Chains A and B, each alone.
Chain A
Amino acid sequence: MDTRDTPEQAELRRAARRLAGQLGPKTVADLDDRTRGQRLAAAVHDAGWLELRADRDAVDGGNGGPLASGVEAAILADGLAGTVADVAFAGPTLAADLARRSGAGHDPSVAFAATPDLLGVAVVEGAVTTTTLHAVDLPAEGCTAAYVLAPTDGGYRLARVPVDTAIGAHDGADLTRRIGVIPPGAAVVEVPDQRRTLTDDDLISWTALGLALTSADLVGLMRGVLDLTVAYAAERRQYGVPVGSFQAVQHLLAEAHCLMEGSISVALHASWAVDDLEPVEARAAGRVAKAYSARAARTVCETAVQVHGGIGNTWECMVHVFLRRALLSSQWFGDDGEQLRQLELKRLGTAVGLP
């Protein structure tokens, strides 16, 4: 056992943090800077980071597994979240992973549509959709469709629905990742040239990746917001001294630091588990990571708002951008309560008794 980064992983981690530091938003006003956003998106695209989960062997629809493991994908998710980098990453990565599993070629113009509760990919029976669906973490440009699943004998076929570009993508709670809308009545078209039917195990593994990436995102958010907040506490003065010299404030930040450290450990394991454990166990590892890191991130981001005081409650202060992103990353693939419920079912059996 050796949980350290390989030299390549360490280099990828540095590269992600470097890029996120250079091109991520430094102020809330930066979120409106279109040029910066485009440069960030282009840099992530040019680095090939959106194709980590595409097939490593593109010939004949591929069957060689992904270009990179869940660990590398999580390293990038963590690095980008550290500066709340407003670039699509987890969404396109998960869409590419779905396409790879079906054996269809990678098409970067297709995102994936989530179930209404955001727990997974939407399954649509019939030729048109019947409810509003959302594509979370839609790329800012060039994405016009989203994958859904169509049930078939022994599994699922990959299909696509158009994202309504007339409505346009919008921000939800999260100001850094866009939400695409698929209104009811959207036509469901099977993706051509699929070589495999997606199995339940495919979906379980894919969910494990979703849990690992959202957990890694939460870890990056905690690291980033704590760095900001510790620096602020050391600089902001009241009663003639830095507020960070008061034990009451120090203890809040120390607890937040520990929550982040614990989250790093579970999230690393979940990212490794994606490709190295059996699907059911990989998903369980993802649930442990998500349950822990979602609770931790909520507390850490709330602490950050609190330590920033009145300033932390103004729109211009960056900390709410972290908190808002944490809300989406928690909810996407299920928050802590959802993970605990699923772990209960797995480990304790079905509840049959007391309400």
Chain B
Amino acid sequence: MDFRDSPAEAEFRGRLRAWLAEHNPGLPTSSTDDEYWTRQAEWHTALYDAGFFGLSWPARFGGHDLPTVFDVILDDELAAVGAPPRPSLGYLVQGITTHGSDAIKDRFLPGLISGRERWCQGFSEPDAGSDLAALRTTATRDGDEFVIDGHKVWTSYSDVADWCILLARTDPEVAKHKGLSAFAVPMDQPGIEQRPLKMINGITTEFGQVLFDGARVAAGNMIGEPGEGWRLAMTIVSHEREPGELGYVARYAKTVKEMEQAVRADPSAFRNDQREQVAWAHVQAEMLRLHVCRRLSERLDGVEHGPGGSVDKLLMTWVEQTVGTAAVTLSGSRAVLDPDDVALKVYLYSRAQSVMGGTSQIQKNIIATRILGLPTG
């Protein structure tokens, strides 16, 4: 057991640190500001072009074929200088890698990884949230194309996306999980309308809803076989649940660091309970950092990824919400007097973490039945 860098890891860390000293864009804390989301594409391509993104993915698609523990180093160093977290799209890469044909992988993975093509994920619908398989968007075969009709919602980055990984019903005759297929749908076409969705913290550029009215997609853009959509969706959401895939560790560490600086700068302005909340947020963020180290180390064994993602998601949610609550508590009266208070936005955004990517209640169902082996009711 060794938490220390190997020589190769240390060399990578040194190179990354030197690059970051010059290229930290100094974006606002993500999740609190529209500017962050607007400039995220620039950050993605800069990180990629410098050779620091897509570390564990195949070189054939623009990655670096490194063990996943290099992502821990990336997150560490981003957090240390307060840089934005790495773009969170590992789950899309995993979904396409696991289910796509070689042609699909060659066509789509390089652009996704390099950031030259932007993606969103069209899964949830107004009446299909936790019960995702109840979705009603249809894809109907028409010659060499499918015609898409339906309504997707809570779609992150839909406003800037070039492509949507869309889950749609291709066979209404079979059981609901079996009639779904996945597609790479071009977003820039007449049959698609994108509407922003304002989140409770006021952000308008992250979340959207997408209306499909006779939109078209080439049949060759189906990812996986007809009817494989549900399995692809499960691959994606189970990866989406892992903090190691998301790089959020850096985001939490950044917020904790900012809170600590605020208290150190003016110790007389804070009560003991506020100090304790900051210390507890540090403990939580450290826990997640170390937990990700452990999880990614386990992958060196090739341990297959399974329902453990639900454990990680729940831990991550607790961390995010502990950090968010500490931030708003520390901010005190400012948070209620100023609608643009960053801590207020961090706090409000944190409430989404127990919903997105599967609610905490769904995660607990999965843990209870699939990890603990408890009987279903």
Contacts and interface: CB of A to CB of B under 8 A. Distances in A.
Partners in one complex: yes
Contact of B267 (A258, A266, A350): A350
Interface in A334-355: 337, 339-341, 343-344, 347-355
A353 B266 CA distance: 9
Given A2-B1, A254-B372, A266-B287, A246 B377 contact: yes
Residue among A6, A258, A276, A291 with max Cβ neighbours from chain B (10 Å): A258
Given A251-B364, A266-B287, A272-B2, A348 B267 contact: yes
B290 A269 contact: yes
Which secondary structure dominates chain B's binding surface?
A: helix
Contacts of A349: 263-264, 267
B315 A272 contact: no
Contacts of A200: none
B69 to A, nearest CB: 5
A344 B318 CA distance: 21
Interface string B260-274: 100110011111100
Contact of A4 (B287, B301, B371): B301
Contacts of B298: 4
A341 B273 CA distance: 10
Contacts of B301: 4
A264 interface: yes
Contacts of B267: 348-353
A292 B283 contact: yes
Interface residues of A, number: 53
Interface in B256-305: 260, 263-264, 267-272, 275-276, 278-280, 282-284, 286-288, 290-291, 293-294, 297-298, 300-301
Which secondary structure dominates chain A's binding surface?
A: helix
A70 to B, nearest CB: 10
Interface stretch (A26-34, A143-151, A202-210, A237-245): A237-245
B200 interface: no
B368 A265 contact: no
B375 interface: yes
B59 interface: no
Given A251-B361, A347-B279, A348-B279, A234 B374 contact: yes
B283 A3 contact: no
B65 interface: no
A266 B291 CA distance: 7
Nearest to A354: B271
A350 B268 CA distance: 10
A333 to B, nearest CB: 16
Interface in B1-44: 1-6, 9
Given A4-B301, A253-B372, A352-B267, A292 B287 contact: yes
Contact of A245 (B269, B288, B371, B376): B376
A247 interface: yes
A264 B294 contact: yes
Contacts of B236: none
Contact of B374 (A4, A233, A351): A233
Interface string B51-66: 0000000000000000
Contacts of B269: 353-354
Contact of B278 (A245, A339, A348): A348
Contact of B3 (A3, A247, A337, A343): A3
A219 to B, nearest CB: 12
A245 B291 contact: no
B363 interface: yes
A340 to B, nearest CB: 4
A282 to B, nearest CB: 12
Nearest to A10: B1
Contacts of B318: 258
Interface string B294-328: 10011011000000000100110010000000000
Question: Can you list the 7 inter-chain pairs with the closest CB atoms, starting with the nearest?
Answer: A353-B268, A250-B368, A254-B364, A254-B367, A265-B291, A244-B374, A3-B297
